[in-house]
Structure 1
Amino acid sequence: MVFSSFGFGIFLSIQLLVLVIIEAVDLHFVCSNNRGNYTTGSVYQKNLDDFLSSLVTNESSNGYGLYNTSFGQDDDIIDKVYAIGLCRPDLIPDASLKSFKDSAYNLTRACPNQKEAIIWNEYCMVRYSNRSFHFELSPSNNQSTTRSLLSSDVDLFNSELEELIGVLKSQAAAGGLQKKFATESKRVMYSNNQSISGIVQCIPDLEEEECSFCLEEGLRQLQKCCYGMDSARFGNPSCNLRYDVYTTDDPAKYHEPRALSPPTPSANATKNSGGKKKSSTSAGTVIIIAMATVVSFLILIMSICIYLRVKYKRKRIEERAEEIKSAEALQFDFRSIRAATNNFSEANKLGRGGFGIVYRGILPDDKDIAVKRLSRDSAQGDLEFKTEVSLVARLQHRNLVRLLGFCLGKNEKILVYEFVPNGSLDQFIFGEVKRAHLDWDVRYKIIVGIARGLLYLHEDSRLKIIHRDLKASNILLDADMNPKVADFGMARLFDLDQSQGETRRVVGTYGYMAPEYVMRGQFSVKSDVFSFGVLVLEIVSGQKNSSFRNRGNVEDLLSYAWRNWRADTASNIIDPILSSGSRTEMMRCINIGLLCVQQNIADRPTMTSVILMLTGNSLSLPVPSQPAFFMGASDFSKAVELDQAQSSSSVQKSVNEASITELSPR
């Protein structure tokens, strides 16, 4: 056992050294096994060698850093080589070509005998394959410095970074077929002598929407991997972006790419022209030198491991102290909250949720807030409550209701949210008067906004959050009718019997809940996708799923939508008051809604795919299969009985804004 642990430690140490070496040369590559291997002397190797030989000139470049070429017979779908290189167009041509050549040379040696591979360095991306490719988002690569910003500046910095990349994204996406590239610097607000420099680039032949989506995905990946770092970059086969923070008296400079020389042969491998070289060192001396080298290596590795362990423990202590400090900064005084809500008066009551009552409040600075007074049966301690609130309060997205802080009084746990003036979505789409104010453009904006908020909760936030009670009453609308997902991220603050994938207590709103959640208590991001699909169909039709009426006949919305989709009469689903607006977008939304509510969990799209389908009008959509809970008219009475039985036993319906959510820190 001791020897095994020792050997495993040596293995990890060697892996660590390999990673350090790779980082030092600034190369990151992926060798794909999906396209198979080629053999030495094969047609594919000849075509690949021809590609490398062609790099003596820059004739394959479009003049803006793009190298796009192919070698082999057009009808040879197995051995034809398709190669592409994307280098920064602000490099001089010779430097761009040199970086491209060095990257291609290193890639063929990093991925020997493999027909598809991709490599990134600081200035170029190079990819080759035996298939043509256009718009692809994987594989991807991201990296950052180890230098962190001050924790108090991180949220402000990320906001400014998102604004800068947003401007550059628009500029690059709007570029023509020759160049989709943008770079700019801006001074940061929290410092007098620091600026952010950003660079974005797409493959020039991408559509504007494809380039924009690719760069958005890159920014999301950097915000996840490199939160708070002052320098980072991202790349995938279709686009790349990077940012750097620099002092204004020492601005960032992007130098000519360094040469990446091929490995030189080892001295021991060089043949002596006069035959075998006679050793001048005795065998005993060689053994002593070898043992001394091994011991020195092990001592070095042990020292590195001890240093890293001590550094990790110190970092965890500092992070814990920072979490406690952040939580204290978010705490409201109980007396001020009581005064803001007029002692929690009935006149200020906005509604009752499954875990407490919500009140409107006004702070002394005339700021409107929404105050949720949680039930008093929580078993969670005050310190844990503070820590989790501080984590959730860092979730910032334009399509999420923002948690401003918390309040602790005697036997009191209170959450303080931003106040959203237009109320909930259900008051508009299901109200006869307000529904007339929701034209198609507004409804479409609401659908896309909800999708972006849900994607942030699932993929892009620092916490992985599954909402589990997504419905129209949990979507709030601001003054400009922008949607904000409400009641997320608080379940563990007051509901401690949850686990990652299953729950003993199914809580939600029947009609929005996925079948695997209702029947087996299993939840995942796909159960949220199901709820989103129901919500999309409600927004398009203007009718509730739970009380849908079709010419006096009782029929659930999913069954009605599916039946009309199959009969090619999907236009019957559209709200009759939508006399104007894009019918194509309406039909796409019906298609997307039906894809989200499919019975098979694996067939439902992720929210990343949903966003791409909503914003990429040129993309063809899959054909949906039968939705969950689909039923014929003869089966409906049985379904009602099942609904009533579940409602009275295992399924607890949520009331108003109740939220049931799983937090999983990343």
Structure 2
Amino acid sequence: MKKLLFLMVTLIWVFSCPLNSAPVDVPDPPVADPVLPTDKDPFFRNSTDFMPHSPEVKLVHHQDLNKKILIALVVASSLLGGILLLLFCFSFYRLNKLKRFNAKTDQISDAAKRISLGPILDKFTSFRVGCKKGSIAAIEYRLLVAATNNFEDGNILGEGGLGRVYKAHFNDQFHAAVKKICAGGLEAERQFENEVEFLSKIQHQNVVSLLGYCVHDEARFLVYEMMENGSLEFHLHGPSHRSVLTWHLRMKIALDVARGLEYLHEHCNPPVIHRDLKSSNILLDSNFNAKISDFGLAIAGGNSNKTNVKLSGTLGYVAPEYLLDGKLTDKSDVYAFGVVLLELLLGRKPVERVNEAQCQSIVTWATPQLTDRSKLPKIIDPAIRNTMDLKHLYQVAAIAVLCVQPEPSYRPLITDVLHSFIPLVPVDLGGSLRVTDSSLPTCS
């Protein structure tokens, strides 16, 4: 750019030189010098022959001078215009180049920020459809420490039997949940390996995604997708007093859980039995989409007996045949689903203490009243009472009663449960119900 400007200035100077030297180049008339007459030359003193010609010479001289000035001005103006045009083009070029450079710099910066997330984000592209062998990323311990602010108490999302769950901020756009398993022993190690093994094979919209894992000394870590609205247990039995969960939203959650279970029972090969389905293991994302989590106790296969399957589960959700005889089938998950459905309907916990020495199961307490249409509306959760069509309420109560039947053969398949719920959920929530005036509450 400096060379270009120097060239332009030189050209202007060259074309401007005639303007400064024109009066010197014009020769004076050779025959007279009126400014310096002498007495010694009588010819010049008496003769006036050349005097009339002097104005003509000056006129010609000024005409040439004006032409040169005009030419110089035109050339200078043209050069100046050309310089301004070149400067404008150059500025426009530099501006576009600067914009492209800034955009490239931003991309490089974003890429640099994603370097630490590479193992996690790559997991999404490594998912395999169905229950075929997939892959789970191994996450470095230092990344988990940085993302959870050294597992600060303020980032605790929840706490279970094996450890705590922390909110992890990997960057402004990417958050995740990190479960820190502190409990030692073979059981904790087995559940950790079980979780990684099953969730590396499973991909479904209603099953929580495992993004990575970490092994550091005696501690084990599992990194899950972030579920912003926490667990169903928190909304049903926590301080919110169930006010957020409307009737239609509860039906949507039940439908989502049924879809997740159907995937495990019908579309995985071999079928997967969750074995620990409960409200605390049903997580809700920002749109209240429900996803099944915690596969530490899950097993693959069909019927089992007490000789090769250790009795595990949560009191209140365990099916009678598994508790008494050790028989574990997919109908055991259906029983646990029925208990969750009762929680959604009644707003009560699976097991409640009656007195200091006695506890009562929600199944035992509710079953006789669920089949009595005069009593049923009175035992519904007060947060949703009188907000649903009674026909829908009776239908959901009938499904719950079937799911918690003591005899497993009387319980429906989860596929049948799923198809029964679809007409009860509005279209915008994933079902087929058209919400009209006829679907408004009719109970008083």
Q: Is the 8 A contact 2:210 2:224 kept in 1?
A: yes
Q: Is the 8 A contact 1:564 1:572 kept in 2?
A: no
Q: Is the 8 A contact 1:390 1:405 kept in 2?
A: no
CA distance in 1, matches of 2:139, 2:125: 21
1:532 and 2:337 equivalent? yes
Q: Provide the residue aligned with 1:98 in structure 2.
A: none
Deviations 1:145-166 (A, max 9, x none): xxxxxxx97858x5xxxxxxxx
Q: Is the 8 A contact 1:427 1:434 kept in 2?
A: no
CA distance in 1, matches of 2:343, 2:194: 37
- Cα deviation for residue 592 of structure 1 reads 0.4
Alignment partner of 1:455 out of 262, 272, 287: 262
1:576 and 2:376 equivalent? no
Taking a change above 3 Å as real, the CA distance of residues 554 and 393 of structure 1, as seen in their structure-2 partners, is closer
Q: Provide the residue aligned with 1:559 in structure 2.
A: 364
Larger helix fraction of residues: 2
Taking a change above 3 Å as real, the CA distance of residues 565 and 500 of structure 1, as seen in their structure-2 partners, is closer
Alignment partner of 1:517 out of 306, 312, 322: 322
Taking a change above 3 Å as real, the CA distance of residues 555 and 491 of structure 1, as seen in their structure-2 partners, is closer
Alignment partner of 1:487 out of 294, 310, 331: 294
Q: Between the two proteins, what is the percent identity of the paired residues? A: 35
Alignment partner of 1:445 out of 233, 252, 267: 252
- Cα deviation for residue 554 of structure 1 reads 8.1
Q: Is the 8 A contact 2:195 2:294 kept in 1?
A: no
Q: Provide the residue aligned with 1:413 in structure 2.
A: 220
Larger strand fraction of residues: 1
Could you tell me the TM-score, scaled by structure 1's length? Answer: 0.40
- Cα deviation for residue 432 of structure 1 reads 5.8
Q: Is the 8 A contact 1:450 1:484 kept in 2?
A: yes
SS state at 2:158 partner: strand
Q: Is the 8 A contact 1:407 1:413 kept in 2?
A: yes
Unaligned runs of 5+ in 1: 1-151, 159-222, 228-322, 618-666
- Cα deviation for residue 411 of structure 1 reads 3.3
1:377 and 2:185 equivalent? yes
Deviations 1:183-237 (A, max 9, x none): xxxxxxxxxxxxxxxxxxxxxxxxxxxxxxxxxxxxxxxx67xx7xxxxxxxxxx
Q: Is the 8 A contact 2:194 2:297 kept in 1?
A: no
The code of the aligned residue for 2:341 comes to: V
Q: Is the 8 A contact 2:208 2:225 kept in 1?
A: yes
- Cα deviation for residue 394 of structure 1 reads 3.7
RMSD over equivalenced CA pairs, Å: 3.4
Taking a change above 3 Å as real, the CA distance of residues 473 and 385 of structure 1, as seen in their structure-2 partners, is closer
Could you tell me the TM-score, scaled by structure 2's length? Answer: 0.58
Taking a change above 3 Å as real, the CA distance of residues 153 and 477 of structure 1, as seen in their structure-2 partners, is closer
In the alignment of these two chains, the number of paired residues is 292
Taking a change above 3 Å as real, the CA distance of residues 463 and 513 of structure 1, as seen in their structure-2 partners, is same
Deviating 4+ runs (over 6 angstroms): 379-382, 384-388
CA distance in 2, matches of 1:398, 1:527: 22
Q: Provide the residue aligned with 2:436 in structure 1.
A: none
Taking a change above 3 Å as real, the CA distance of residues 341 and 432 of structure 1, as seen in their structure-2 partners, is closer
The code of the aligned residue for 1:444 comes to: M
SS state at 1:407 partner: strand
The code of the aligned residue for 1:613 comes to: S
CA distance in 1, matches of 2:407, 2:194: 38
1:201-600 matches, within 5 Å, as 327=135, 330-364=137-171, 366-374=173-181, 375-378=183-186, 389=196, 392-431=199-238, 433-462=240-269, 464-488=271-295, 490-491=296-297, 500-502=304-306, 505-547=310-352, 556-569=361-374, 570-578=376-384, 579-600=386-407
Taking a change above 3 Å as real, the CA distance of residues 434 and 482 of structure 1, as seen in their structure-2 partners, is farther
CA distance in 2, matches of 1:485, 1:412: 24
CA distance in 2, matches of 1:548, 1:412: 35
Range with greater deviation from structure 2 (419-428 or 432-441): 432-441
CA distance in 1, matches of 2:173, 2:252: 30
Q: Is the 8 A contact 2:162 2:188 kept in 1?
A: no
Q: Is the 8 A contact 1:330 1:390 kept in 2?
A: no
